[in-house]
Structure 1
Amino acid sequence: MTGPNTTPDEATPERPADPFKPLGNETRLEILRVLYDHLQSTSREATLSYSTLRSEVGVTDKGNFNYHLRQLDGLFVERGSETEPTASTGSGTGSDTDTETTTDTNSSSNSHSPTSTDSSPDGYRLTFAGFEIAKVIDVDAWRSHEPCGPVVLDDPRENPVDTSANETDDGPTAQDPLTATYEDSVVEIRRGDDLLYAHAVRPTGAAARGMAVDELLDTASTLWRHTVEQLLKNICPYCHAPIERALEYTPDRRWEHAFSANCDECGSLGGSHVGIVAITHPEAIAFCWDHGLDLTSTRVWSLPFVDDDAVTVLSDEPRRVRLDITFETARLELVVSDDVRIVDTERVCRAER
């Protein structure tokens, strides 16, 4: 995909129409499984010889096996230095008698036809993409599950009451509570119908935690924190390409002061309230620690300054805001630029202003 600052010559190669098409076959999936099991029992660099791989996959027809192996070669499977001792392949000795060169009967002239045998210095292993696919298949990462929740969460706001006028003028009313659910592999934090936070937690990990919502919330908060850290470091959490961030004013949403992130490759990455930018800043971490709040472990939706009341608009063009982290005796003021960077900080005594 060509980004806004790239020329056609600098653009990345066009993606294949269906990169997962090679996986639509039981033999190829079994090849991945066998190589994955071998990797789990050895090391990342260890390879499996051709004859052992074919034997464990259980395909006797060499031509047929070579055809399927070639569909994976270079994308999900690669060849590397043979690190497995010959004896472990079942060949008996280093002078393996099965030394014939194997060729694909469907395309004998193909230069990528597998040629390694037990006595060859070359073997096969998973590429990183192959490992990722095999891992997801192995742990049944996105298995279905029953939803959990909703559960009502502690509210970080000092006054969770709406003091604005209501239709009946009966005085202030309680705002919608903060709730959490786990459904379709995603932990969601909502206030009423408004989605505030969402992060995937694979059902394998959720099941290992007994589908307990409290533990899932700790897990989701940690994952969200890591995602935010990547966004603030200009890294797409999915493809690791550079991203663009921007402050936004969204008066029609629960949070008016937010930021968005966008990746040329992956598109919109979503965003969050602008206050979340403080959770990785050393001055904010130290200030909160001095006042008894550990930013590194507190659930992100429990932070009192992730709220519009903590934000003051300093300018519109370019957009710049001030985020206040306030305790009884002191306040930390963080100035956030239009590209969502903290560009200035100041500690003040509350009595000063």
Structure 2
Amino acid sequence: MEDPRPTGSPLDAAADIADSHVVDAFKLLSNETRLAILLALWEEYEPFADGNTVAFSELLDRVEYDTSGNFSYHLQKLEGHFVETTADGYRLKQAGHRIVRAIIAGRGLADVTLPPTEIDADCTMCGEPLAIAYENEHLYTVCTGCGGKFSAGEEKPSGTVMGFAFDPAGLARSSAEEIFAASTFRAMQKFTMQMGGLCPDCSGPVDSSIHVCEDHDSDGICTNCGRRDEIKGRWVCTVCKNSGHGPPGDNLVLHPRVVAFYADRGVDIGYNTTDFETIVRTLELMTTHDQELVSTDPLRVRVTVRYGGDELRLVIDESMDVVDVEA
């Protein structure tokens, strides 16, 4: 039988799902020497330094390659895609930086886990202590007392309250509280970008939508959708398929009108990624954001933010754009 792949390459066979130049570029990385060149250039890179170039002879020594002719061949293969040539030597292009950063972050390179570790915060639903756990490149916040926000059938630890994608490098922080704060803040920023139509991974356009459980059980975890929230937002990048989901009412916490509402009342939800107390306070504020289905045609959801007896009401449409604000 004739091989349907023109070159017998599985990568070529998959070329119809990505631009051909992208597939060709990744072919170049299937060589140990070329990966070593990228890592060597990254090691010599210093942010904000002038030039950041490495001479050919120095790069040859760093990689410890014996034959300059063969080494030059591999280097030329990387030029234009991942490496830039200057009069003073070689340096990484943005694409090269992205490849090395993925390696440094540990994405998919090791089965890193963290057993449930208690943090100094309590579940807003039952008052029992919270803990964090890490598996499958996600950091989960789990309640030690109740069933959390998801049904037992979900691929999440028992008692999960929330869970976000988080690179293994993020576990290098000194305490469980700092890890929790960094993961939560990163997720909040990611959701804010997605709600604004920008993919936080590839900068592509994002499609946003709202899904309403048509037969929602209001008491506890719904037997129909497996969640506590009747209304859920979804985000999908049209380029790289990066996705996210969550209650739109919670994820409006960093909307400018919401930030201003809290700031006018002396509450700064801030941008301190490792400030555990600020993150916990922000999450507590998010639990008071009520979301209500106003209409289905057109689809409208009202989010009510309350603090100190005052209210801010935002109406969002099916794309999660804020179309009306009432103070």
TM-score range, shorter chain: 0.7 to 0.9
Aligned residue runs from structure 1 range 298-317, under 5 A: 298-299=279-280, 302-306=283-287, 310-317=290-297
Of 62, 65, 71 in structure 2, the residue corresponding to residue 56 of structure 1 is 62
Matched, 1:31 2:5: no
Matched, 1:261 2:238: no
State the match for 1:334 in structure 2. Answer: 314
The secondary structure found in structure 1 opposite 2:279 is: coil
For residues 235-265 of structure 1, give each alpha carbon's deviation from its aligned partner in whole angstroms, at most 9, with x where no partner exists: 1011101111112113413121111111111
For residues 101-125 of structure 1, give each alpha carbon's deviation from its aligned partner in whole angstroms, at most 9, with x where no partner exists: xxxxxxxxxxxxxxxxxxxxxx211
Q: Which moved more, 1:310-319 or 1:323-332?
A: 323-332
For residues 16-59 of structure 1, give each alpha carbon's deviation from its aligned partner in whole angstroms, at most 9, with x where no partner exists: 44743323333222212221222238837432222332233232
Of 213, 217, 225 in structure 1, the residue corresponding to residue 176 of structure 2 is 213
Cα 1:263/1:271, change in 2 over 3 Å: same
Of 142, 149, 155 in structure 1, the residue corresponding to residue 123 of structure 2 is 155
* Paired residue type of 1:156: T
TM-score, length-normalised on structure 2? 0.72
State the match for 1:95 in structure 2. Answer: none
TM-score, length-normalised on structure 1? 0.68
In 2: Cα distance, 1:273 partner to 1:41 partner: 38
Matched, 1:132 2:132: no
Structure number with greater Rg is 1
For residues 119-142 of structure 1, give each alpha carbon's deviation from its aligned partner in whole angstroms, at most 9, with x where no partner exists: xxxx21111121222344456565
State the match for 1:43 in structure 2. Answer: 49
In 1: Cα distance, 2:48 partner to 2:281 partner: 39
Is contact 2:140-2:164 (8 Å) kept?
yes
* Paired residue type of 1:70: Q
In 2: Cα distance, 1:231 partner to 1:298 partner: 20
Is contact 2:118-2:129 (8 Å) kept?
no
Cα 1:286/1:318, change in 2 over 3 Å: same
The secondary structure found in structure 2 opposite 1:24 is: coil
* Paired residue type of 1:182: Y
Cα 1:154/1:293, change in 2 over 3 Å: farther
1:344 CA drift (Å): 1.8
Is contact 2:232-2:246 (8 Å) kept?
yes
Aligned residue runs from structure 1 range 73-84, under 5 A: 73-82=79-88
Is contact 2:42-2:100 (8 Å) kept?
yes
Matched, 1:282 2:249: no
Cα 1:310/1:25, change in 2 over 3 Å: same
Is contact 1:243-1:263 (8 Å) kept?
yes
State the match for 2:166 in structure 1. Answer: 201
Is contact 2:150-2:161 (8 Å) kept?
no
For residues 319-338 of structure 1, give each alpha carbon's deviation from its aligned partner in whole angstroms, at most 9, with x where no partner exists: 10111122452222111122
Is contact 1:147-1:184 (8 Å) kept?
no
State the match for 2:5 in structure 1. Answer: none
1:289 CA drift (Å): 3.6
For residues 270-315 of structure 1, give each alpha carbon's deviation from its aligned partner in whole angstroms, at most 9, with x where no partner exists: 21101124212233223234445443343488235447x8122111
Identity %: 27
Give the structure, 1 or 2, with the largest relative contact order (CA under 8 Å, sep 6 or more).
1
RMSD (CA atoms): 3.2
Cα 1:37/1:267, change in 2 over 3 Å: closer
For residues 138-165 of structure 1, give each alpha carbon's deviation from its aligned partner in whole angstroms, at most 9, with x where no partner exists: 56565544413154752335xx5xxxxx
Unaligned runs of 5+ in 1: 1-10, 83-122, 161-173, 348-353
Of 241, 247, 253 in structure 1, the residue corresponding to residue 210 of structure 2 is 247
Cα 1:33/1:14, change in 2 over 3 Å: closer
In 2: Cα distance, 1:304 partner to 1:217 partner: 17
State the match for 1:225 in structure 2. Answer: 188
Cα 1:42/1:57, change in 2 over 3 Å: farther
